[in-house]
Structure 1
Amino acid sequence: MAPAAMRSAAESLAGAKPVSYWLDDPEKPDALPALAGDEHCDLLVVGGGYSGLWAALRAKERDPGREVALIEGDEVGWAASGRNGGFCAASLTHGLANGLERWPGEIGTLERLGAENLDAIEETVHRHSIDCDFERSGEIDVATAPHQLDELRAWHRETEELGLGGLEFLDRDAVRAEVDSPTFLGGLLDRRGVAMLHPARLAWGLKRACRALGVRIYEHTRGLDLARAGTGMAVRTPYGRVFSRQVALGTNIFPSLVRRVRPYTVPVYDYALMTEPLDAGQLASIGWRNRQGLGSSAHQFHYFRITADHRILWGGYDAVYPYGGRISAGLDQRPETFLTLAQQFFACFPQLSGVRFSHAWGGAIDTCSRFSAFYGTAHRGRVAYAAGYTGLGVGATRFGADVMLDLLSGERTARTALEMVRTKPVPFPPEPFAWAGISLTKRSLARADRRGGHRDLWLRTMDRLGLGFDS
């Protein structure tokens, strides 16, 4: 990029707050007191993100008499649940392509269960009056290179032939009639399978709904360890212990209290920008009337959407894995990534030259080698866990919560019968092998984007091992 354009991109970031736009909200609720002393319950939920909140809510909806407590090490929704893009997808498998590759024999069931799950989220939002700007606006996967357009066209034909339709192919003029960028060559539109929402307000609304049903929530209460206690379990916290018959773990990227689960996930840092509100002329220049979410089709992809107050969130591209899988607040800010994202934003929307960004943030998400959640139990069925959503957990965590509750009940259900639920991903190797493998994969994906989508020997090998991915 020319020096003048780089300087302009840097100037657009000068006033950006180093915090998630979603969490920088005057309606953010006050934190609840930490646990002081011992607590007893039927079900303890560890983690106050979407996984834990849905598990607590669904447990009370299934059995209103069940005593449920939830502990959160910081504040409800402060981590990935409060800083994601707000794409609430029906897919349980990190997209149809990933699901079809891994579980072709049950993809129809997975798609049906995912659609039902998204409908249930929408119903819950309305029933509990959760003000989270829920919009069933859909999503467009856009092509910005000729080979991506060919791939989208071929994928559209394949889904139609398999009877997994519902996608609409958009040529250049059609996609630019939806959202106008000179970089867009075409796209695939999913009208019903994705909703846009305010992610932090969803978490806060679920917190309020849980409390209304009698869930006891303790914030700033970290679960330190997990051990057997008689016929149940005990979780130690800084100021007391929680004794519970059963435990549901929704800690995701943070180290699992079941140590053998830890090698299955690694943290990847994702980054996003939010613009200032656009005025009427700026909105008209991009024509984003139907408010769909968008995602680019490159391996190093962007996701972007428009908010209820007419801002554009622009995120993705530069996924960063820290050596050793360390999680640090210091990694939440990465100026070089923010500058790259700003430059790419103005390349996509040159008509918005001069727009400034109000917020710039990042944070870790939990990634597993199959890129969609995995599930299991420990301590003879007294403990259940779900993790590995890989950035597509806004919707899938509700399904994962039901899976955890099914596993704790010991009953075989349509969910627990799924191969996806009964199997695990390949665990990541120890360092330095994890670092080397992830770094090589990132370089190969970037090279594939530059070479018309051609996957090199490394990526083809990963594909054959079931470890390859497209984004």
Structure 2
Amino acid sequence: MAFVNGAVSHWFSETGLPSPAPRLPGSIQADVCLVGAGYTGLWTAYYLKKARPDLRIVVLEKEFAGFGASGRNGGWVVGELAGSGAAYAERFGRDSVIRLQHAMFDAVAEVVRVAAKEGVDADLVQDGLVTVARNRAQRWRMRQEIAHARAWGWGGDDLRLIEPGERIRVAGAVDAMYTPHCARVQPAKLVRGLARIVQNLGVELYEGTEVTALRPRTITSSAAALTPYGRVTAEYVIRATEGFTAAFRPLHRDWLPMNSSMIVTEPLPPDVLAETGWRGAELLGDMAHYYMYAQRTADGRIAFGGRGKPYRYGSRIDDAGRTHERTIRQLHAMLADFFPAAARVPVAHAWSGVLAVPRDWCSTAALDRRSGLGHAGGYTGHGVATTNLAGRTLRDLVLDERTELTDLPWVGWHVRPWEPEPLRWLGVHLMYGLYKRADARERGLRRTSKIAKVADLISGR
């Protein structure tokens, strides 16, 4: 059956592709220049302009606001820590990680609050996240994860076991857990709403303007973002390019652009919807290593995502969003496995995008006052909420204010680069191949497969 493949995402098929803002008209001077008009760049612009309306803030975007992960993600505003708690704790201590985790909880509520305050209708509903276990090994891992979460500050109200089928009826589920710290969102509506808000506040947004290089501050010149149409010089230039960061040659190995793919069905007929038991706006995930993520959209579809082809050689990015036919079939088969009745509901749209993965899976927000360059990202798939935390943190760093946010352990975090090719390509594909084998073996195991533990060592998680 015919369906749309690529064309950015289903989310933009609902809103329509935006009319482009003008490109940079020539070289200009600003106070702050933000490179990338996704959630990170737009949240940072929003909070800076709210705090200091007098600042001249410029946002540069190669395509249009929301073209990347901000307009293609699964619509999870999730309060899960974007990074490795153990890695942060080793350097800064357990209490600092607990503070970071609670800042993530607050970020979910902040996204919902600002959207309501600013009149952004993005189908935001905070009904939480249901995670299911579908065999004994996954159940064992779920209990381990709950114990691990308790050690990092999650209380009984933050994460708890529920009966399988209590909120969503997933075929074969043997256990389930629930957290309220997650909201559903229509990603394109949120990012385009943010773009509208910051422009109304006086932020200058230039689209169709590729940044080809970043220049640090020197004794004789300010920091700058270079484009084919001129340069933007500023006191601070903040890189907010997430999965597209590898396009900058000096940063080619900093964050790996991991590919993720999605399908969305046609609206579910009432009998199919009734069989799923999915009446609210909860998000859905599972405990498999080769995991999935899903939402029930505001108009009654299921948007269902997974890895597909996880990585392209040389950190190349398929920015058109087109998805391999085999991946689409795999995702539809997984959807039917979770919800057998949904097997007869056609796929309406398929697309892909990239997220940024640091070598140690630790996100960061940073500003070097000497060079005038800053950045935030490496969200490992948790960016819809983490970008909001990043925007508020970068605001405080730019304004040189010491706050609770600037004292969080992810601020200024440095990681080692990924291996050169072909080791990078081989390692990533080996890692996900092992995770798939581990999932298959765990159907008959009581605990996590040793194969998965080998994959964890390779991944550095």
Give me the TM-score of the superposition, normalised by structure 2. Answer: 0.90
Partner of 2:38: 49
The aligned amino acid for 1:146 is R
Q: Is 1:194 aligned to 2:182, yes or no?
A: yes
Pairwise mapping of residues 135-154 of structure 1 onto structure 2 (< 5 A)? 135-154=125-144
Q: 1:125-174 deviations in whole A, cap 9, x for unaligned?
A: 0111001011001001110111111221343345457652221212xxx2
Partner of 1:109: 99
1:32 corresponds, among 14, 17, 21, to 21
Partner of 2:118: 128
Partner of 2:66: 77
Partner of 1:3: none
Q: Is the 8 A contact 1:269 1:332 kept in 2?
A: no
Q: Is 1:408 aligned to 2:398, yes or no?
A: yes
Q: 1:325-355 deviations in whole A, cap 9, x for unaligned?
A: 1123467321111111111111111122311
Distance change >3 Å, CA 17–CA 256, structure 1 → 2 = closer
CA distance in 2, matches of 1:35, 1:242: 9
Kindly state the Cα deviation for residue 38 of structure 1 after the two structures are TM-superposed. Answer: 2.1
CA distance in 1, matches of 2:207, 2:394: 22
CA distance in 2, matches of 1:460, 1:346: 27
Distance change >3 Å, CA 127–CA 223, structure 1 → 2 = same
The aligned amino acid for 1:69 is V
Greater CA deviation, 405-414 or 425-434? 405-414
Kindly state the Cα deviation for residue 303 of structure 1 after the two structures are TM-superposed. Answer: 0.4
Greater CA deviation, 273-282 or 113-122? 113-122
CA distance in 1, matches of 2:262, 2:318: 17
Q: Is the 8 A contact 2:309 2:327 kept in 1?
A: no
Q: Is 1:371 aligned to 2:366, yes or no?
A: no
CA distance in 2, matches of 1:363, 1:162: 31
User: How many residue pairs end up in the alignment?
Assistant: 450
Greater CA deviation, 430-439 or 213-222? 430-439
Kindly state the Cα deviation for residue 356 of structure 1 after the two structures are TM-superposed. Answer: 0.2
The aligned amino acid for 2:205 is I
CA distance in 2, matches of 1:217, 1:81: 16
CA distance in 2, matches of 1:334, 1:249: 30
Partner of 1:89: 78
Partner of 1:459: 454
Give me the TM-score of the superposition, normalised by structure 1. Answer: 0.88
The aligned amino acid for 1:332 is R
Pairwise mapping of residues 9-24 of structure 1 onto structure 2 (< 5 A)? 11=1, 14-19=2-7, 20-24=9-13
Paired-residue identity, %: 30
Paired residue secondary structure (1:417):
coil
Partner of 1:6: none
The aligned amino acid for 2:70 is S
Q: 1:3-23 deviations in whole A, cap 9, x for unaligned?
A: xxxxxxxx5xx3344331001
2:234 corresponds, among 244, 266, 275, to 244
Paired residue secondary structure (2:164):
helix
Partner of 2:206: 218
Kindly state the Cα deviation for residue 30 of structure 1 after the two structures are TM-superposed. Answer: 1.7
Q: Is the 8 A contact 1:381 1:408 kept in 2?
A: no
1:178 corresponds, among 167, 188, 197, to 167
CA distance in 2, matches of 1:92, 1:160: 13
CA distance in 1, matches of 2:150, 2:81: 20
2:161 corresponds, among 155, 169, 191, to 169
CA distance in 2, matches of 1:410, 1:257: 30
Pairwise mapping of residues 267-306 of structure 1 onto structure 2 (< 5 A)? 267-306=257-296
CA distance in 1, matches of 2:170, 2:71: 29
Greater CA deviation, 246-255 or 270-279? 246-255
Paired residue secondary structure (2:10):
coil
CA distance in 2, matches of 1:352, 1:98: 41
CA distance in 2, matches of 1:381, 1:295: 41
Runs (5+) with no aligned partner, structure 2: 443-447
Distance change >3 Å, CA 381–CA 405, structure 1 → 2 = farther
Greater CA deviation, 376-385 or 281-290? 376-385
Partner of 1:326: 316
Kindly state the Cα deviation for residue 378 of structure 1 after the two structures are TM-superposed. Answer: 4.6
Distance change >3 Å, CA 414–CA 455, structure 1 → 2 = farther
Distance change >3 Å, CA 162–CA 239, structure 1 → 2 = closer
1:434 corresponds, among 424, 435, 440, to 424
Greater CA deviation, 151-160 or 302-311? 151-160
Q: 1:159-197 deviations in whole A, cap 9, x for unaligned?
A: 457652221212xxx221311122211111002x00000
Distance change >3 Å, CA 178–CA 95, structure 1 → 2 = farther
Greater CA deviation, 422-431 or 23-32? 23-32
Kindly state the Cα deviation for residue 420 of structure 1 after the two structures are TM-superposed. Answer: 2.4
Q: Is 1:417 aligned to 2:412, yes or no?
A: no
Kindly state the Cα deviation for residue 94 of structure 1 after the two structures are TM-superposed. Answer: 4.7
CA distance in 2, matches of 1:407, 1:259: 26
CA distance in 2, matches of 1:422, 1:240: 30
Kindly state the Cα deviation for residue 462 of structure 1 after the two structures are TM-superposed. Answer: 1.8
Partner of 2:195: 207
CA distance in 1, matches of 2:87, 2:288: 15
Partner of 1:7: none
Q: 1:64-114 deviations in whole A, cap 9, x for unaligned?
A: 111111111001001111011000012342587887798634222012211
Partner of 1:5: none
Distance change >3 Å, CA 405–CA 210, structure 1 → 2 = same
